[in-house]
């Protein structure tokens, strides 16, 4: 089982403006089981993105440990795919070139990596866009390419940092529905950071709520809503609204 295990994780850094040390994350421990979809929510500035960046290996923790498949995370690696809020695509590469970049870096032969790339472009509904460039795509289409690129590298863990925040509301709902469909078809392990409580509940099997800074785990709530999930019926569902209200009460206490 390629589980993610986090034990006693903390991050303290020097704020050059305040001239003092600031603790962003304090003593966070959690586990994400292989094939699970977990959302992380919390107040602004609670360290959600800091936590994700430590798991990705972009920044080192001050204390604690991060284990993936029993191995300590010491830096970035192909076992973790990341989808950012900004689309972060290579503008000089075609859509197919962006998606096949990871397999190319791993030495996958051209024919095989193009097969992989086209497979994942089909999965995100962009089979016909392989030869286009990012500037020719809408924001929602670019983010689909970002998801396909991350999945094409076959990561053990997919890390998503508010990936739909920069698209319009209608596109965002479509992307959320597509992501749940992709998860059901392929069952990647996903850790999804968002400030949107409805999004967190809609997507996940479990929601982790962080406290105000320094971020600590306040609660871990299962989401027992049936799948497949689509917005039209779910937005009026009594259980969905009750769970959203419960999480929102933790994120924004009265």
pLDDT > 80? residue 19: no
Instruction: State which of 12-16, 163-167, 208-212 shows the largest mean pLDDT.
Output: 208-212
Sheet (strand 157-161) strand order = 80-83, 157-161, 190-193, 37-41, 206-210, 217-222
Report d(CA 221, CA 99) in Å as an integer.
34
pLDDT in the model for residue 213 = 87
Residue 254: band (very low, low, confident or very high) from pLDDT cuts 50, 70, 90: low
pLDDT > 80? residue 90: yes
How does strand 217-222 pair with strand 206-210? antiparallel
Here the tokens at position 166 are 């920069």
Q: What is the pTM of this model?
A: 0.91
pLDDT > 90? residue 171: no
Here the tokens at position 113 are 């990596």
pLDDT in the model for residue 30 = 95
Report d(CA 39, CA 118) in Å as an integer.
28
Residue 58: band (very low, low, confident or very high) from pLDDT cuts 50, 70, 90: very high
Least confident of 14-28, 146-160, 171-185: 14-28
pLDDT > 80? residue 197: yes
pLDDT in the model for residue 253 = 67
Dihedral (Cα; 70, 76, 83, 207), 10-degree rounding: 40
Higher-confidence residue: 44 or 19? 44
Report d(CA 186, CA 252) in Å as an integer.
34
């Amino acid at each position: 089982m390629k589980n993610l295990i986090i034990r006693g994780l903390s991050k303290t850094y020097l704020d050059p403006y305040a001239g003092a040390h600031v603790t962003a994350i304090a003593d966070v421990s959690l586990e994400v089981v292989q094939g699970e979809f977990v959302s992380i929510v919390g107040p602004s500035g609670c360290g959600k993105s800091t936590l994700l960046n430590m798991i990705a290996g972009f920044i080192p923790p001050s204390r604690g440990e991060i284990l993936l498949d029993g191995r300590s995370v010491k830096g970035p690696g192909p076992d973790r795919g990341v989808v950012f809020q900004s689309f972060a695509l290579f503008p000089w590469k075609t859509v197919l070139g962006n998606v096949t970049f990871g397999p190319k870096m791993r030495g996958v032969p051209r024919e095989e990596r193009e097969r992989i790339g086209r497979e994942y472009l089909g999965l995100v509904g962009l089979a016909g866009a392989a030869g286009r460039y990012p500037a020719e795509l809408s924001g929602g289409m670019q983010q689909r390419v970002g998801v396909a690129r991350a999945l094409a590298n076959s990561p053990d863990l997919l890390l998503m940092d508010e990936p739909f925040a920069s698209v319009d509301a209608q596109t965002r709902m479509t992307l959320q529905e597509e992501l749940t469909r992709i998860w059901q078809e392929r069952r990647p392990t996903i850790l999804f950071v968002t400030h949107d409580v409805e999004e967190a509940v809609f997507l996940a099997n479990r929601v982790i709520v962080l406290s105000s800074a320094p971020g600590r785990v306040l609660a871990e709530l299962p989401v027992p809503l049936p799948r497949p999930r689509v917005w039209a019926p779910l937005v009026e569902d009594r259980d969905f609204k009750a769970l959203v209200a419960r999480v929102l009460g933790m994120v924004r206490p009265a």
